[in-house]
Structure 1
Amino acid sequence: MKLRQRLEKVLPPSMLQYAPRKFEVVGDICILKLRESLFPYASKIGEAFLGAVPGVRVVAVRVGKTTGEERVAPLLVVAGEQRTETVHREHGYLFKVDLSKVYFTTKLSFEHQRVASQVKNGEVVLNMFSGIGGFSIPIAKRANCTVYSVDVNPHAIRYLEENVKLNRVEGKVIPILGDAATFTPPSLVDRVLMPLPLKAYSYLNHAVRIIKKGGTIHYYDVVVEKGGSPLEELKLRVTGRLRELGVDAEVVFSRRMRSIAPRRSLAVLDVKVDGD
């Protein structure tokens, strides 16, 4: 039976139009967002998804917003097994994760691969907000390099340590519990990843402190659609801040990645720090 048919059986006709149409599957966990009026039907909706989405053994609902440095939103299991831990497979990489304790999304899959494909053998990389290794693991699997991976969330670092073993990148990915603002690698790095829009701009001074001339910063931020060209405005804002920090830089790549709210999109800039 198709999902729509299952939902028709458990929801009143007046509520069917509000049924979730989008969902995310991480490992064997299906994650939904429900409007408040559907909460009384959450378990029935969960059972409908459990029966209709192949491979799903848990259905959970986000019951709040993603906030704070740890980027975790409250999660309520409404159907299936009572757990929030799973193992997700992405392009052959394995990511063990507890979705109630750490941030992870499948929506960055393309970006993980795009960045990893640029890293060359011998590079030293700093991932300032590593999470469980969404960027760090693919980089280390594709290149013979060192990836210092920093995060303030102890749960994220614990799962990163497990994922390092699962993907056999011991000695290449270096998990570090702490604030990237206070971490200094043994040598200057070739590449800095800043995949936390909440803090990326305020951490640019720390990025330029440890990057080589000629290195690359992968910078992530949120752009607001309010007329004009928000992506161009972001470029000017970031390069302007870098000039204030005494660094000449060039944006060599930019794109709006995906919508995250009405008139708000996640964007990425690849910024080349000028050499001598």
Structure 2
Amino acid sequence: MKYYDFLVNAIGNSIEDPAKLPKGYQLIGHVVLLSIHPDLLPLADVIGELTLEFESRSKSVGVRMGPTRGQKRIPNYKLVAGSKNTTTTHTENGIEFKLNPMRITFSRGNVNERIFLSQQVSSDEHVVDMFACVGQFSLPIAFHSGANVLAIDINDLAYDFLCQNIRMNEVHENMTAVLGDCRDVTFRDADRIVMGYLHDTVDYLPHALNGLRFRGGIIHMHSLVHGNDERKIRNTIITESSEYGFMAKISSRPIKKYSPGVSHMVFDINLDSNR
């Protein structure tokens, strides 16, 4: 039985509009993350307990109470059912990620991008992850390609988990973590740079361009794209790249729908020196 049908059978007769019940959830380790219609928030505890009953792998259920906050990307979830211990280990594509998804942003919706990116990197590359969090992109790259990886994050809790994950996945010989604002961290001669941040990411592009090898390289820039703003972002990338002595060839890929009229996209920027 599907999750939605399970909820309808359990409490559908007791609510005004069963169509507002959640259709699915994210399972990260043993923690279920739910988005619930505002009208059903008074029933969050009930839905949480039913979710524990439905999902045998779960031990904790958190409900989204608002948007992710600030540069440190702090999620806004409330524990509504199950264990208060929400630190967990999530296994994906051969990688173990230790984290607390109630306090650290981790989206399972990006799994295909994580797999895709790890397959693009060769062992002789120097890769910089400017927004590493717990290593969502950088760990698979280091583990599967053997490339040298520098992973930077500004969130001290994410950094602690990142360091643990480097040791747990045994990539400590080719992966280094740094705590700080990526714009304050000096790096040079990168072959490839990952910018897995969504809000005004293009503002960080100059620092990425400054950290590339003289001959150029590749930047994977994630961004939220509102409506028809893709062309505007592309033009900004071309202008900024030219100012740093690079010619940019850009391709873009949708990752997922973020909200009505807003998409999460990746801009793959191939840069050649024109100096």
- What interval of TM-score do these two structures reach, taking the shorter chain for normalisation? over 0.9
Tell me by how many angstroms 1:129 deviates.
Answer: 0.5
CA deviation after TM superposition for structure 1 residue 240, in Å: 2.5
Alignment of 1:67-106 (within 5 A): 67-106=69-108
Question: Contact (CA 8 Å) 1:63, 1:74: kept in 2 or not?
Answer: yes
Partner of 2:242: 243
Q: Deviations over 1:67-113 (max 9, x none)?
A: 21111222111111122211101111100011232211111111111
Decide whether aligned partners of structure 1 residues 5 and 120 sit closer, same or farther in structure 2, where only a CA change above 3 A counts. Answer: closer
The offset of 1:10, in angstroms, is: 3.1
Partner of 2:110: 108
Would you say the 8 A contact 1:2–1:52 is kept in 2?
no
Once the two structures are superposed, residues 165-210 of structure 1 have per-residue CA deviations (whole angstroms, 9 ceiling, x without a partner) of 111101211110011111113x411111111121421111101111
Q: Is residue 171 of structure 1 aligned with residue 170 of structure 2?
A: no
**Greater Cα shift, 239-248 or 85-94:** 239-248
After superposition, where does 1:149-160 map in structure 2 within 5 Å?
Answer: 149-160=151-162
Between the aligned partners of 2:6 and 2:264, the Cα distance in structure 1 is 34
Give the corresponding residue for 1:22: 24
CA distance in 1, matches of 2:263, 2:140: 24
CA contact (8 A) 1:115 1:139 kept: yes
Q: CA deviation at 1:271?
A: 0.6
Kept in 2: contact 1:8–1:16 (CA 8 A): no
Question: Match of 2:20, SS?
Answer: coil
Report the CA distance shift for 1:118/1:268 in structure 2 as closer, same or farther (over 3 A).
same
- Contact kept? 1:59, 1:79, Cα under 8 Å: yes
State yes or no: 1:261 paired with 2:259: yes
Higher mean alpha-carbon deviation, 39-48 vs 150-159, is at 39-48
- Give the gaps of 5 or more residues in structure 2: none
Deviation (angstroms), 1:275: 3.3
Q: Which residue of 2 aligns with 1:49?
A: 51
SS at match of 2:61: strand
TM-score, length basis structure 1? 0.92
Offset, 1:219: 0.7
- Over residues 23-66 of structure 1, what are the superposed CA-to-partner deviations in whole Å (9 max), with x where a residue is unaligned? 11111111101122212111110111111123111111011111
SS at match of 1:116: helix
- Determine which of 64, 82, 91 is the counterpart of 1:62: 64
Residue identity in the other structure for 1:205: P
Contact 1:148 1:173 (8 Å CA) reproduced: yes
TM-score with structure 2 length normalisation? 0.93
How far off is 1:2 after superposition? 5.7
- Cα separation, 2, equivalents of 1:149 and 1:44: 40
Correspondence for 1:8: 9
Q: Is the 8 A contact 1:140 1:172 kept in 2?
A: yes
Identity of aligned pairs, percent? 28
Measured against aligned partners, the alpha-carbon deviations of 1:88-143 in whole angstroms (never above 9, x if no partner) come to: 01111100011232211111111111111111112111110000000111001112
Q: Say if 2:69 and 2:76, in contact at 8 Å, map to a contact too.
A: no
Name the CA distance, whole Å, in 1 between partners of 2:78 and 2:164: 25
* Aligned-CA RMSD value: 1.7
> For 1:135-154, what aligned pairs fall within 5 Å after superposition?
135-154=137-156
CA contact (8 A) 1:144 1:172 kept: yes
Q: Please give the secondary structure, in 1, of the residue aligned with 2:270.
A: strand
Q: Which residue does 1:200 correspond to in 2?
A: 201
Structure 1: gaps spanning 5 or more residues: none
Conserved 8 A contact 2:246-2:273: no
Whether contact under 8 Å (1:136, 1:149) holds in the other structure is yes
Matched position secondary structure for 2:9: helix
**Following the alignment from structure 1 to structure 2, what is the Cα–Cα distance between the partners of residues 254 and 2?**
34
